[in-house]
């Protein structure tokens, strides 16, 4: 039995590690697409067509946190979830700026190096936190733990949508932010359906953490702008 359990744990680690690698590459490619669409430098014009919805979705930060959270839920263990979440987000950040240098040449190094280091530091912390939160939701032994784990993935979506509503312009951007807000509001009801007290706790935690997420993202974005980042 012990040997079988070790093999199962080893298989899970391998699956989670592979998922984290795929997620890192996918995030890097998707983020590079956003950069190519001009979203790093400025927000879109008011008359921006709805056909650019995809580019604005990629430019959001909360979906990156959701990827780390999903990897944590797949891992089921807090330590493994934290490690894979951090790896995926740091790897995605590194891939993004590596693709930037590859496509734009050495002239972009002055921008890419300091900004990638700054975002990688933020990604490491955020990835670890949200990866552990996903594992907490999946394997938490109490209703409170599962409620907290679910609130952790819903809150950044709500907080980010409210925060960016004041800075992003354009029809497509507003559609994306509205959709993100709705997803954040619905997630607690999907992830914590019963017992009712757990859902109520999750809703309360989501409300509080949404404020924390909005403030935190604003601080991080402002800090990164000081090292040269000029994203939307």
Provide CB contacts within 8 A for 106, sequence distance 6+: none
For 69-85, give one letter per residue: b (16+ CB within 10 A) or e.
bbbbbbbbbbebbbbbb
Q: What is the DSSP string of 80-121?
A: HHHHHHHHHHHHHHHHHHHHHHHHH-GGGHHHHHHHHHHHHH
Total domains present in the chain: 1
Instruction: Note whether residue 111 is domain-resident.
Output: yes
Instruction: Note whether residue 175 is domain-resident.
Output: yes
Reported confidence tier of residue 182, pLDDT bands at 50, 70, 90: very high
| pLDDT mean across residues, the chain | 83
Instruction: Note whether residue 51 is domain-resident.
Output: yes
Question: CB of 106 within 8 A of CB of 127?
Answer: no
- Among 215, 161, 217, smallest CA distance to 185 is for 161
Instruction: Note whether residue 230 is domain-resident.
Output: no
Instruction: Note whether residue 27 is domain-resident.
Output: yes
Domain that holds residue 32: 2-225
Instruction: Note whether residue 116 is domain-resident.
Output: yes
Say which residue, 2 or 17, is predicted with more confidence.
17
pTM of the predicted model as reported, rounded to 2 decimal places: 0.85
Instruction: Note whether residue 231 is domain-resident.
Output: no
pLDDT digits (tens, 9 = 90+) for 60-82: 889 899 999 999 999 988 999 99
Instruction: Note whether residue 128 is domain-resident.
Output: yes
38 phi-psi bin (left φ>0, alpha ψ -120 to 50, beta other): left
Q: Looking at residues 186-215, what average pLDDT do you find?
A: 95
pLDDT at 35 over 70: no
Say how far apart CA 55 and CA 39 lie, in whole Å.
8
Say how far apart CA 127 and CA 189 lie, in whole Å.
24
pLDDT of residue 69: 96
pLDDT of residue 65: 94
The C-alpha angle with vertex 154 and arms to 45 and 25, in degrees rounded to 5, equals: 70
């Amino acid at each position: 039995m012990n040997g079988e359990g070790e093999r199962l744990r080893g298989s899970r680690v391998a699956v989670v590690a592979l998922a984290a690698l795929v997620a890192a590459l996918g995030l890097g490619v998707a983020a590079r697409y956003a950069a190519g669409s001009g979203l790093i430098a400025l927000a879109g014009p008011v008359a921006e067509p709805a056909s650019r919805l995809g580019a604005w979705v990629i430019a959001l930060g909360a979906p990156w946190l959701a990827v780390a959270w999903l990897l944590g839920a797949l891992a089921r263990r807090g330590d493994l979830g934290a490690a894979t979440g951090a790896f995926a987000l740091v790897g995605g950040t590194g891939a993004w700026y590596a693709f930037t240098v590859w496509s734009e040449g050495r002239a972009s190094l002055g921008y890419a190096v300091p900004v990638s280091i700054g975002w990688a530091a933020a990604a490491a912390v955020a990835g670890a936190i949200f990866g552990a939160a996903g594992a907490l939701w999946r394997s938490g032994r109490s209703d409170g733990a599962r409620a907290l784990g679910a609130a952790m993935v819903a809150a950044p979506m709500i907080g980010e949508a409210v925060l960016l509503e004041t800075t992003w312009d354009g029809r497509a951007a507003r559609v994306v932010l509205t959709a993100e807000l709705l997803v954040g509001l619905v997630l607690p009801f999907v992830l914590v359906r019963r017992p009712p007290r757990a859902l109520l706790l999750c809703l309360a935690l989501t409300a509080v953490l949404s404020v924390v997420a909005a403030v935190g993202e604003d601080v991080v974005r402002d800090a990164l702008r000081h090292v040269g980042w000029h994203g939307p």
